[in-house]
Structure 1
Amino acid sequence: MSEFGSRLRELRRAAGLTMEQLAEASGVSARAISDMERGHSRAPQARTLTALAAALGLDPGGERDLGETARQQRTPAAGRPRLCEPPRAIKDFVGRADELDRMRRHALAGLGPAAVAVVHGQAGLGKTALAVRLADQLRDRYPDGRFYLDLRGTDPEPMPTGDALVRLLRALEVTARQIGETDDERSSQLRAVLRERRCLLVLDNAGSEAQVRPLLPSEGESLAVVTSRRVLGGLEGVERIALAPLAPAESAALLRAIAVQAADPRAAAEVEAVARLCGHLPLALRIAGTRLATRPAWTVEHLVTRLADADRRLATLSTGDLGVATAFALSHAQLSRPARELFRRLAHVPGVDFAPALAAVLTGTRPDDAADGLDELVDLGLLQQSGPDRYRFHDLIRLFAQERLRIEEPAGTRAATAKRMADWLLETAIVAGRWFEPGYGCLPDGYAGPVPLATAEEADAWLQAERNNWLGALRSASRGGQYQLVVDVAEAMHWYSDKYVRAEYWYDVYGRSRAAAARLPDRRQEVTHINYFSWAATNCARRPDEGARIAMDARRVAVELGDVKEQAWALRYAGDAWRLAGTPEAALPAYREAAELAEAAGDHDGYVQLRPGIARSLAELGRDEEAIAECAAALAEIDARPVAPRPALGARLNAQLTTASSLARLGRWAESLRAAEEALPVAVEYGYAGYLAEVHLTIGRARLALGARDAARPSLHLARDLLRDLPHSALQTLARESLRSLA
């Protein structure tokens, strides 16, 4: 019998009460009182103690004495072993302030069922360290004990729930004789004990909902923190904390806390590089910092050099019994066979993220089946969901997937899979790009691809979402000698590229198509792609001098071939380059000669686009009246000629924009406003932010000049915002000056 049990029995008898009478008066069960008196259970918690003291008629002093006896019983004797003791807290713990605050607030809420928090995420994010940190911070709130149990959820055989229940009940000092025989009985006992106490449970590395659900408190003031690589979405009424990699500043702070070399301010750039190469993953950062700290002769730069070798990075991120690859392998081992195949084959994806359709191509399955596999990878923390139906790897997990791919699939299979993926990406890109081509402008008959491309909007959405992937496939095809395919993709993008004219990647696309066309026998195809490359150099890479040189090379080849149409395009691109370089006096005759050649070649699409170019050059030479007349003639030609929709739209918009800006320079503000407002829906339809900004800027300036200051303000703000990321310095300056005049 314990000292508390003896004292309780003595007080009950002195009060002349039987166990049943004390139970009725206090609301505490007779069995619980019997267990306390015989020392078969721990002393009661504060609220139970208060109820017993009141029923026994104790004064405040007597209640304090009884409480002190209870506290002494709850305090283990010196040197006595404790079960389920939490592991040592990490002294150099960094970050996670928001997550800790969320869990503290959840623990202190005190409403409804007992608090349960689930911390989940991929291997190496520091889930255990976070849970132990919280347990250390809240030690005073949970005087009845903080208990830790590794459920071994990533082992081939996780800890059985029954064993976990026994361990927790023993840690809570329920005697072996009292522990129930079945898991249901033990779970009920655990909930009953936790309901009467204030304990914190850290249930680490949970493998499934079924394993952890019987271990959770149901009522009372206890807190359970569950960590798992899985989301454990089947658990209801829990606070779910999804961990992400550390912020760059936190990563650098952790490295500085571990290794003295990283604390040197002169190594700040190298420390940032180490953090980036570690993917800001706490486990990787800790291993990298430890390797640095245990090798005093190393510099941070030396570590950067080692980590920069992608093929050796996972090997470098290993020390002692810790290893990033080892941590990932535990999750990998839990995958089903189809999910393992999907995981390694996703290493073929050239871009940062992807959709289920691409995963289906890699595995030869239906997109719905691929989506199920992706969900399995997400659930185990081997893949991240970056948006609706978009997925991505953590950088280090991608390296692990590449490693598994090399180990598990022969070279021939890898090559065939990579080619199948690349061919599908490029064939789909051609179908999508041709929506914007004058000769196509629709979906081909019989298209049965796995992605929706039924409208130009859907085609644009796919091309943008998968841009890094089809660009990667294009580079692969270029390296692999698939020259005609490279040219076909670039040709399909010719008119689509106008929608994103300032995107620098077109310089790469048309540089590759020019080189590919040079390897093919059709020289007319070659001169076309030299012209496209000139356009990209001038408009996308903002290298007008280079663009002009390339255009004149295209003209030379076109003259050799007798190709009048491509001569016109070459002069048009040379004119664009010279005008952008600030020499409209050179651009004007080039445009005029190009217009004559386009007319001679019967190239109506090219001709109607040259007339606004002539007008722009006139305007830039200060000849605004002539520019306005040229624009009027251009608009008439667009209506009179059989021009394809997209070229007509671009030519119309440029003529309207030039008219509006020339009228503004002439101070004819009312006419300028009308012209700009007519251009607005055309600019919206065209879709290029630079043109839309120019329209709104002219509308805002015109309204301002006409005294409508309030009406001018939203247009000017919108123009400024649209121009923020575009290289239109003159328009940006004009927008800022106009807004300052409103202040």
Structure 2
Amino acid sequence: MAQATVSFAVLGSLEVRVGERRLRLGGSVLPRVLTTLLLSPGQMLPVARLVEAVWGENPPSTAAHQVRKAIGDLRQRIPGGSAVIVTDGPGYRADIPPGELDISLFSLRLQRAREALGARMTAEAAEQLRTALDLWRGPAPDAESSGPLIAAGYAVLEERRLAAVGQLVDLRLDLGEHQELVGDLMELVAKHPLRESFRGQLMLALYRSGRQAEALGEYTALREILVEELGVDPGRQLGSLYEAILHGRPELQAAPRTAGHENPSGPEPVAPDEYTAPCTLPHDLTGYAGRERELELLLGTADDTRRLRIVAVDGMGGSGKTSLVVRAAHRLADAYPDGRLHTDLRGFSPSQEPRDPGIVIAALLRTLGVPDERIPEDLDGRVALWRSTLSGRRVLLVLDNAADAAQVRPLLPASAGCLVLITSRSRMSELDGSESVSLDVLPPADSLALLRAALGEERARTESAEMERLAELCGHLPLALCVAAARLRSRARWTVRYLVDRLADESRRLDELRSGDRSVEATLRLSYQAMGVEHRTMLRLLAIHPGTDFDVPAAAALLGLERADAEDVLEQFLDVHLLEQYEMDRYAFHDLVRRFARRLPTEGDETAAFARLLDHGLAVTDEACRVLFPSRGADPLRGSPSAAPPAVMTPKQAAAVFDREHSTLLALVRQAVAEEGFDEQAVPLARNLVFYLDMRSYLPQYEKTAALAATAARRLNNLPALRNCLNNLSVAQWKAGRFTEGIATVAEALAIAEELDDRRDMAVSLNSLGLLNSSLGRLAAAEECLERAVELFQGSGAGRQEGYAHSNLSSVYSYLGRHQDAAAAAERAVQLSCRYGAESEGVTALTDLAIAQLSLNETAQAHATISRALSLGDERRTPEDLALAFAVASDIHQRLGDHRRSTDCAERSLELIRSEGTAIRRPAVENILGNVHGRRGSHYRALALHRDAYRHAQVIGFRVEAAHALRGLATAEAALGDAEAARVHREQADELCTRMGIPFDRYAA
């Protein structure tokens, strides 16, 4: 029997059907997770987004685990669920054929409607829209029932639905169905009383049905509502419709219905006897590719003959504005039989001022055949003649390279039926009645299409990977892509790979993107030269920022301005496309613009600007660390902050600041240390960053930051600061498994602490030294260091650090088989973590206590202890410690006979340690889980885990875990009948344990 088809629906509410049967999903977690995935089909959603969808801003500590469990449950409940919900990197993706998901069908129907409109098949377009709207089964769920994030997704869908409704109404009006529409439109207006488009459609339908008074009354009713609720009048478009209805203008009458209900072509405009329609458009481009969405939008502008249409296309220099508009103009030419005119306004042209509007109008009038003697001298007279000349004509006017709205405004016709296409590097937001199309860089697929069109399909096949890299190095900027393609075409022996290698040199990239008289740098320079001196300086200073993007406060620090003034500057740069904005309050340079700005001549104010940026970074991270790490010690370099402190943060906001900015902060520290002169700011900034990087287990960045801080502190010859930096660096080296390097580092820190006679910092260094020695199997030395550290910590006020020392000492006691001492030390560590407000950091101490309790056969107590550890654990905060806790929990659950929970904990432990773990924790986790599988009888699985543990332990010299792995291998091999291999590994383990002076009974059954 064929398997029943599974279908999914979210338009109105969530519904999953297997054939005719509706699948029930209990609770709230499963439906919300599935709904979130279905609202973004084909897109990878990280676990954090699914957590937010289910719980909003206050998720439980186990939220991520619950989401993953929900994914597993959905895969089991939905037939073929593993193929429907797939793991994709750090998240999950709904992979559903379009025919089995209503939201995909909805998008498909809308696309077919657009295609039918492009072919002027009005009735077919209307039918496709009806079919799309019929997919909706009811209203979208509200935020209370679905959560804010899902409700926001439905809000976007609802806007798409209403837009489709409006488009269908327009088509039905064009088809002469005005009388049939009145009732539907009244219902729409009742539901959406402030939506002017529906009100206008109702007015038109009423007027065409012979109900002029009612049509005018609808306008009056809307005006009363708007004035009362918002204090505004209806928009200009609705006002124009009101005036047209009031005066009974003939253009409002419906076109007569024709066979097939398609749009009639209508009569051609009557031209004056002596008039010949001119065309001054530049030649159409060959090899044009990409921008299909924007091109379709422009091609749709010829459909409305009832009004003047103005479309302003803006984008950065080289984004392909003129190419797009000229392409569209040629495709639209037949719809404008009275003239297709192009003029370059020279708003951004080398060595030329923007053209005067009066001069432009005179030239356009001459093109239309107006003799010189009829052209007035004054601007107002020319504007009046220009508009009267175009009256009643359908003319397409391309105003290319406009400087601003003031230059364009006098050139606009006044008559309906004309189309004006404008290109500019500046947004024409001040141009009333215009529509805006902003060009970003090309999508990667469009970039490759452009290169294929320019270089040929053969090259695209043989050098596809190199072409993708070429597109990336060109920043997906059309001009850069065209220049690169031109260079390749003019140099027959060059391969794409060769040009890619040349462009990889960042210092020369702009020099390479030059071909003939076309140059990316020259194009960018035009935008730069069009600015005033003050804005040129600000652009150069903003380019100092080392991050990929930045917020307004960071920009204000660089520019030395108040926040509001800095935001005004950023918005001005955004308007001329020298900056980009992908989310609210954050700005970014296009890569090539940044490189251009960094090549500009320096003026001596960069040093002060960079210092202000460092001060700003310090102020923000000081506040974030105050919230996240309240009990950290004082910074020996920090006096009164020179930058104003930011607003008080919540812990979530503080973590979010670091999550977003940590890469930028590392780049800032790196630049500060490289340039020198900023060491007093670099050291405390690095210290703030190190705390966060350690919390998140971003170990390579942690070690790099700590090393940079040590370099700067050494240059300052500040011993207390250097001692702190070295201690931080030694911890990073321990976590990375470089124990010998760590011992050398911490030995220097200890010598400084002894020289300064600082008991507390001597204890800190001894704690690290004990940790490093224990990892190398030097247990006697480790015990001595840690016991001395505990002694020095007592009475120093460093309770949290004393807790760490007790926890580390517990591990050493466990290695030595002194399990009662291990339990006592771990218990003391737990007490200190609670007393000093660091309970959430006590996962390691609780795990050590559970291990000691297991070794003392106190399984029930160990279960309570590890349960407490897991309740405090946070996978976003030292996930490797949580991985170890899950591994121990797996061991405990197995001993208690709860094999399902043991399996769940084992899987979670491996998932964490393999994706986010540290070198130091991985072999320990794998050894524990190897023992668990061995006792379960899964000896091949145990063998594989112990092999991995041994390999990982050997790489870093972790001798204790290497011994555990060898013993685990021997046990698994004996169970599998390989007595010889078991004997060899057992002897190797015994020899290693003997050299370390430890019995092997840490996880004895």
TM-score between both structures, scaled by the size of structure 1 = 0.71
Q: Partner of 2:420: helix, strand, or coil?
A: strand
Letter matched to residue 86 of structure 1 = L
Q: Give the equivalent residue in structure 1 for 2:11.
A: none
1:330 maps onto 2:564 in alignment: no
Q: Give the equivalent residue in structure 1 for 2:545.
A: 349
Q: Give the equivalent residue in structure 2 for 1:38.
A: none
Q: Give the equivalent residue in structure 1 for 2:790.
A: 598
Once the two structures are overlaid, the 10-residue window that deviates more, 205-214 or 226-235, is 205-214
Q: Give the equivalent residue in structure 1 for 2:317.
A: 123
| TM-superposed deviation, 1:558 | 2.2
* CA shift in 2, pair 1:333/1:495, >3 Å: closer
State the distance in 2 between where 1:706 and 1:520 align: 60
1:295 maps onto 2:491 in alignment: yes
CA contact (8 A) 2:278 2:338 kept: no
Once the two structures are overlaid, the 10-residue window that deviates more, 111-120 or 694-703, is 694-703
CA contact (8 A) 2:488 2:496 kept: yes
Q: Give the equivalent residue in structure 2 for 1:203.
A: 399
Q: Determine which of 505, 508, 511 is the counterpart of 2:707.
A: 511
CA contact (8 A) 2:425 2:577 kept: yes
Q: Give the equivalent residue in structure 1 for 2:994.
A: none
State the distance in 2 between where 1:182 and 1:700 align: 89
Q: Partner of 1:231: helix, strand, or coil?
A: coil
1:147 maps onto 2:341 in alignment: yes
| TM-superposed deviation, 1:552 | 5.0
Q: Determine which of 532, 549, 566 is the counterpart of 1:370.
A: 566
State the distance in 1 between where 2:370 and 2:314 align: 31
State the distance in 2 between where 1:498 and 1:522 align: 24
* CA shift in 2, pair 1:314/1:552, >3 Å: closer
Q: Give the equivalent residue in structure 2 for 1:245.
A: 441
CA contact (8 A) 1:478 1:486 kept: yes
Letter matched to residue 316 of structure 2 = Q
| Cα deviation 1:323-371 (Å, max 9, x = unaligned) | 2222122212221221111112223222222334444444444333333
State the distance in 1 between where 2:296 and 2:591 align: 28
State the distance in 2 between where 1:341 and 1:236 align: 32
Q: Partner of 1:153: helix, strand, or coil?
A: coil
Q: Determine which of 909, 912, 916 is the counterpart of 1:726.
A: 916
* CA shift in 2, pair 1:228/1:530, >3 Å: same
Q: Give the equivalent residue in structure 2 for 1:529.
A: 725
| Cα deviation 1:163-215 (Å, max 9, x = unaligned) | 44444455556676777776556656666776744443322112212222344
| Cα deviation 1:466-523 (Å, max 9, x = unaligned) | 5455433422332326555544433444544433332532221111223344455555
* CA shift in 2, pair 1:91/1:356, >3 Å: same
Q: Partner of 1:242: helix, strand, or coil?
A: strand
State the distance in 1 between where 2:596 and 2:613 align: 22
State the distance in 1 between where 2:726 and 2:641 align: 31
Q: Partner of 1:201: helix, strand, or coil?
A: strand
| Cα deviation 1:252-278 (Å, max 9, x = unaligned) | 443343346992655444434433332
State the distance in 2 between where 1:702 and 1:195 align: 88
Once the two structures are overlaid, the 10-residue window that deviates more, 323-332 or 370-379, is 370-379
Letter matched to residue 420 of structure 1 = A
Q: Give the equivalent residue in structure 2 for 1:102.
A: 297
Spell out the pairing of 1:159-170 with structure 2 (5 A cutoff). Answer: 159-169=355-365
* CA shift in 2, pair 1:191/1:506, >3 Å: farther
Q: Partner of 2:801: helix, strand, or coil?
A: helix
* CA shift in 2, pair 1:388/1:703, >3 Å: farther
1:489 maps onto 2:685 in alignment: yes
Spell out the pairing of 1:9-88 with structure 2 (5 A cutoff). Answer: 83=278, 85-88=280-283
Structure with bigger RCO (C-alpha 8 Å, 6+ apart): 1
1:132 maps onto 2:330 in alignment: no
State the distance in 2 between where 1:623 and 1:448 align: 52
Letter matched to residue 598 of structure 1 = V
Letter matched to residue 654 of structure 1 = T
Q: Determine which of 371, 379, 382 is the counterpart of 2:578.
A: 382
Q: Give the equivalent residue in structure 2 for 1:8.
A: none
1:549 maps onto 2:744 in alignment: no
* CA shift in 2, pair 1:195/1:620, >3 Å: farther
CA contact (8 A) 2:528 2:536 kept: yes
State the distance in 1 between where 2:527 and 2:377 align: 33
CA contact (8 A) 1:558 1:564 kept: no
State the distance in 2 between where 1:481 and 1:277 align: 33
Q: Give the equivalent residue in structure 2 for 1:428.
A: 619
* CA shift in 2, pair 1:189/1:673, >3 Å: farther
Spell out the pairing of 1:260-659 with structure 2 (5 A cutoff). Answer: 263=459, 265-406=461-602, 409=603, 413-414=604-605, 416-417=607-608, 420-421=611-612, 423-425=614-616, 427-428=618-619, 431-432=622-623, 435=626, 436=629, 438-439=632-633, 449-450=643-644, 452-455=646-649, 457=651, 463=658, 465-479=660-674, 480=676, 483=679, 485-502=681-698, 504-519=700-715, 521=717, 525-539=721-735, 543-544=736-737, 546-551=738-743, 553-555=745-747, 558=750, 562=754, 568-570=763-765, 572-573=767-768, 590=782, 593-602=785-794, 603-613=798-808, 631-639=826-834, 643=836, 645=837, 648-656=838-846
1:226 maps onto 2:226 in alignment: no
| Cα deviation 1:377-412 (Å, max 9, x = unaligned) | 222222223433332222222222223234xx2xxx
Q: Partner of 2:402: helix, strand, or coil?
A: coil
State the distance in 2 between where 1:257 and 1:594 align: 69
Letter matched to residue 428 of structure 1 = A
| TM-superposed deviation, 1:85 | 1.7
* CA shift in 2, pair 1:289/1:630, >3 Å: same
Q: Partner of 1:149: helix, strand, or coil?
A: strand
* CA shift in 2, pair 1:161/1:302, >3 Å: same
State the distance in 2 between where 1:604 and 1:250 align: 59
State the distance in 2 between where 1:707 and 1:115 align: 72
State the distance in 2 between where 1:549 and 1:227 align: 61
* CA shift in 2, pair 1:288/1:431, >3 Å: same
Q: Partner of 2:442: helix, strand, or coil?
A: coil
Once the two structures are overlaid, the 10-residue window that deviates more, 87-96 or 546-555, is 546-555
Letter matched to residue 120 of structure 1 = D
Aligned residues: 648
CA contact (8 A) 1:615 1:627 kept: yes
* CA shift in 2, pair 1:589/1:191, >3 Å: farther
CA contact (8 A) 1:584 1:620 kept: no
State the distance in 1 between where 2:765 and 2:740 align: 9
* CA shift in 2, pair 1:667/1:448, >3 Å: same
Spell out the pairing of 1:168-187 with structure 2 (5 A cutoff). Answer: 168-169=364-365, 171=367
Letter matched to residue 127 of structure 1 = K
Spell out the pairing of 1:674-713 with structure 2 (5 A cutoff). Answer: 676=867, 680=871, 683=874
State the distance in 2 between where 1:105 and 1:724 align: 52
Q: Determine which of 271, 279, 284 is the counterpart of 1:89.
A: 284
| TM-superposed deviation, 1:230 | 0.5
Once the two structures are overlaid, the 10-residue window that deviates more, 382-391 or 161-170, is 161-170
